[in-house]
Structure 1
Amino acid sequence: MTAVVSRFRILLSPKENEQRQLNLKVQLKTRGLSFTNGIGQHPSNDWPGEPSVLILNLNRESAKVLAAQYEQNVFVWAGETGVPELVQP
């Protein structure tokens, strides 16, 4: 999940992106959730890569709430089967 894109797909300033990503990580740490850093980037378009996190052991409904809080259009979810899917908050 990334915290850096608004629901309107507007590029935010690098400073705003950095602050949102920091806020997300602080929230995850406060909640005791394990995560790892990554980059979310489509391989065939010009939209720049975005810092992302892979959050472990977060149920789908909690992920939807978190994604909505950070104004995400969609997020990638993989449950027990490991099959990824795009989910709207």
Structure 2
Amino acid sequence: MTTLSPELRKAFEETQYHVLHQAPFLLQVGQAQAALSALYQQHQTDCSCFITAFNPMGELLDKEENIERHAQLGRALGAAGLAALPAVAQHPANGWPAEPGYLVIGLGRDDAQRWAAQWEQLAVVWTSTDTVPQLLETRVPGWMR
């Protein structure tokens, strides 16, 4: 069973996830990204995920609230000992505001979904050894869209 409407799923899939690394690169659902292989090798892992704390449950918050949530997420990732690179999600055409987040290196599929649920996100973009980002819906208790 899916929780995202087809329109919302399409928006997530069309969004571009800009990883702000030494040599910046772009993640897009369904498109392999070779730059991930080097990161995986450097960090001795085989997976990563893009996560944001902006706009929980897909509801727009004001700028200050989003900035504070982003800072809290960054602190939580650091406290958990997770390697995280700054990143920004931006749809190329739909007018939804850019959402800063992090590319978390070495976060497994189940953990990625748990973090997303904890930060009230509808989905995360997760990538394994094949370096092809995929959209993972989050099951947030008590919510269905």
Residue 54, structure 1, aligned to residue 103, structure 2: yes
Residue 25, structure 1, aligned to residue 61, structure 2: no
Aligned residues: 88
Residue 3, structure 1, aligned to residue 43, structure 2: no
| CA displacement at 1:6 relative to structure 2 | 1.5
| CA displacement at 1:17 relative to structure 2 | 0.3
| CA displacement at 1:5 relative to structure 2 | 1.4
The TM-score normalised by the length of structure 2 is 0.59
Structure-1 residue corresponding to 2:64 = 15
Residue 39, structure 1, aligned to residue 88, structure 2: yes
Over the residues paired in the alignment, what is the CA RMSD in angstroms? Answer: 0.8
| 3-state SS of paired residue (1:47) | coil
Find the aligned partners of 1:2 and 1:75 in 2 and give their Cα distance: 8
1:20-45 CA-partner distances (Å, limit 9, x unpaired): 11111111001110011111001111
| 3-state SS of paired residue (1:87) | strand
The TM-score normalised by the length of structure 1 is 0.94
| CA displacement at 1:62 relative to structure 2 | 0.6
Higher relative contact order (CA 8 A, sep 6+): 2
Structure-2 residue corresponding to 1:71 = 120
| 3-state SS of paired residue (2:64) | helix
Amino acid of the structure 1 residue aligned with 2:55: V
Which consecutive aligned stretches of 4+ in structure 1 deviate over 2 angstroms post-superposition?
Answer: none
Whose Rg is larger? 2
